Structure 1
C-alpha cells in the first residue's frame, strides 16, 4: 500500500508546502459540472448511499491503447502518476488520470460503508462505461492499493479488459506483513526497528517518534529512493491530499502490516490469480515495500503473464527507476496491441 498516511503529512507538511503549492490549483472540482476543462470529466457514480461524482482527465487520444490509472492509498490521488505525461504521449498511448471516490478532486462523502473493495470495483466499472472503454482498447494499471483494486476488478470484469498492469502490489496482505517484518524491518539498525515495533505493539501511532524514525530509516529507502527534500512536488501533494477517513478505515496506521480492525485485514487473492487470463504485466522493484520475488511469482500464476523488475526502484518505481519502469510498461502495452504478446 502507499503507507505515507496523514501522520506523515503532519510531520512533513512544512517541509513540502512551499514546493507543492504551485500545483494545488491544477483542477478545482465542481460537482455540478460534467466537463471542467479540456479532457476533464466529473463522472456520476451510483452507490448504495446515492450519487456522487469522481474526477477523470484524459491525456492523448488513441483508439486501441487507453490506460486507466488506479492510484494508491486508499484515499490518495492521481498525482502519483503525474510524470506519465512525460512518457506515454510520446509513444501515442492515451491515459486517464482518475481520483477514486473519497479522494482529492472527487466527492468525499463521510460514510465508511462506502469504503469496501466491492464498491470500489463497481465504481471502476461505472467509470469504464462512462469513458467508453472496452476489451478492444482498455488497459487497467493499478499501483499499491490500486494494484489490489486492479486484481479484484480483473477477477470480476476481465472480459472488459485488453490488458492488466499490476504495479508494486502483492496478492496477499499477510505475506506482505511477513516480508515487511522479517525482511525490510531488520534492514534498519537493530535498535531502531526494536523501537518501531514497540510503538506498534502499544498502538502508539500518534507518537511523533514513530514518523521520525520511518522518515529517516524507511521512506527514502523503500517508498521513494530520494532524500525527502528532493521528492517531486506532485508526490508531496498527493501525500497532502490523502483522505485519512478512507485510508485509516481500510488499512490502518501501521507501516509493517494492516492494523487490526482495518477492513483490508487478511485480504488475499493469491489462489485466484490462475483465474486471470487477460494479458497481465506485474511490475516489482528491488527496493520496494512489496516483495519483488512474490510479484515475480504472481506473473507465473496468471494464465498469460510477464514480469518487469525495476532494479533501482522502490514503491514509486515510476519516479526512482523510470529508465526501467516506462520502457517495460510501454512495451507490454504495444505488444498486446500488436498481438505479439506471448508469442
Structure 2
C-alpha cells in the first residue's frame, strides 16, 4: 500500500512539473508570437522595411530601414560604418537578438546602397548625418524609454555626435570599435599596427600614401594581405562572411573617400573627417554607455577602455580575439556583453 501511495505521489508531482513546464512554454510562445507579430504595423506590407523621407538643405531624399521584432522597451538602431558602407555588416545580429526578444532596426544612411544616393558632396557632413539620425528616430517612434543607439566604426563616431546633441532621447548608447580621436587612431595605426608588418611592406605602404598613388593595385593588395585580414576581420579572406563581402561590394566610394579617405589604415590628408577629436567632450555623455574594444582592432582598445571611464555612466566590453568587426571574429563574447548591457539598462540594473 505504501508503494502505491508513493507511486501516486511521484506521478502527481511529475504531472505538476509538466503542467508548470507547459505553462513556461506557453509564456515563451506568447512572447515569441508577440515579437514576430507584424499585424497592425505600418511596415507590415514589406515585412518591416520602410523608406523614410529625410529633409536636407538639398531637398528631400529617402533612407532605407528594416525593423525586426517588437519590444516596447528595447529597440536598437544600428549605425553602420564607412561612411558609405551598408547595414549588411550586421546580418549576424539575426542570430542573437531575436532569441533575446530585442527589437532592432537595420538602416542605410543617406548615400549608402539601399538608400538614395545624391551626388552633392555638401551633404556629407557630421552635422547633417546627426540631423538625419534624429529624423529617423522620430519616424520610427523611438524615445528615451526604448531607444538604444548602436554605432560601429564611423557609426560609432556618428553615435557619439548624436549623443552630444540629443542624448535626452536615448535610453542607452553603444560605441563599438571607435576611438574618440582620429589623430590618436592614425598614431596607433602608424606607431603600433604598422610596425607589426614586415618592414619592407610597411615602408612600401607609407611610400604609396606619401605619393598619393592610391589607384595603384599594389596598395590594396598589401593592405588586404598584411592589415585587413589581421585587424579588420581576423579571418583568411576566403572565410570572410558573405554579408561582409556584400557590404564591401556595395560601398559608395564617393561618400567614403570624401569623408574618410582611401584606406582603413588612416585618414587621408584631404578627407573631411581628418582631425576629428571629441576626447574632451566625452565627460558630457550621461546616458548609460557601452564601449566595445577588441584585442586586434584597428582602433586602440586601451583608448576605448579609457573612453568608458570618461563618460559618466560607462561600461567596457573587451573582445580579446576580435578585430574591427568583432561581431564576427569574437562573436560569443561580443553578443553576450552587448545583450547583457541592453537588458541591464532595460531592467534598471546598470
What's the TM-score, normalizing by structure 1? 0.89
Contact kept? 1:284, 1:292, Cα under 8 Å: yes
Match of 2:77 in 1: 68
Match of 1:42 in 2: 51
Give the alignment partner of residue 61 of structure 2, picking from 52, 65, 68. 52
Number of equivalent positions: 309
Q: Structure 1 residue runs of 4+, over 6 Å off?
A: 33-36
Q: Quick one: distance in 2 between partners of 1:255 and 1:79?
A: 18
Q: Which has the higher contact order (CA 8 A, sep 6+)?
A: 1
Please tell me whether residue 196 in structure 1 is matched to residue 202 in structure 2: no
Q: Quick one: distance in 1 between partners of 2:170 and 2:143?
A: 6
Q: Structure 1, unaligned stretches of length 5 or more?
A: 1-32
SS of equivalent residue, structure 2 residue 46: coil
Q: Quick one: distance in 2 between partners of 1:153 and 1:244?
A: 24
Give the alignment partner of residue 275 of structure 1, picking from 278, 284, 308. 284
Q: Quick one: distance in 1 between partners of 2:296 and 2:184?
A: 16
Shift of 1:255: 3.4
Match of 1:337 in 2: 346
Quickly say closer, same or farther: Cα 1:282–1:253, change in 2 above 3 A.
Answer: same
Q: Within 5 A, what are the aligned runs for 1:1-343?
A: 37-341=46-350
Q: Quick one: distance in 1 between partners of 2:284 and 2:264?
A: 30
What's the TM-score, normalizing by structure 2? 0.87
User: What do residues 293-322 of structure 1 show as CA deviations (whole Å, max 9, x unaligned)?
Assistant: 000000000000000000000001000001
RMSD: 1.1
Q: Quick one: distance in 1 between partners of 2:274 and 2:85?
A: 19
Q: Quick one: distance in 1 between partners of 2:105 and 2:60?
A: 22
SS of equivalent residue, structure 1 residue 323: helix
